[in-house]
Amino acid sequence: MTDAVGSIDMPDADDEAADSKKKSRKGGKRGKKGPLGRLALFYRQIIAELRKVVWPTRSQLTTYTTVVIVFVVIMIGLVTVIDYGFQEAVKYVFG
């Protein structure tokens, strides 16, 4: 089915030409910089993001570290008990 402009199923030739012009353009301002300029921009962005971070206080850091160490010790104990149980089960089954 067609209308006054052209086929509904097929885009106009003008639309395809406009799309190809848009796709051929690369990067804007960032595309024109050399490798060192892009690297400098990358490091500036890293520093800007690190300034936004809310760093924990020393007491918060101590608390978080303690919680993590206690959790790891509990998990080590749990895995040890389960491993010992499987070891005994294998000894019982296979002799």
Q: Is the pTM of this model over 0.75?
A: no
Give the model confidence (pLDDT) of 43-92 as tens digits.
Answer: 999 999 999 999 999 999 999 999 999 999 999 999 999 999 999 999 99
- Strand ranges for 15-57 from DSSP E: none
What residue spans define the domains of the chain?
A: 56-94
Q: How many CA atoms lie within 13 A of 1 on its CB side?
A: 0
Tens digits of residue pLDDT in 4-42? 655 566 656 555 555 555 555 555 555 567 889 999 999
C-alpha to C-alpha distance for 64 and 67, rounded to whole angstroms: 5
Backbone angles phi, psi at 2, to 5 degrees: -125, 160
3-state secondary structure of 2: strand
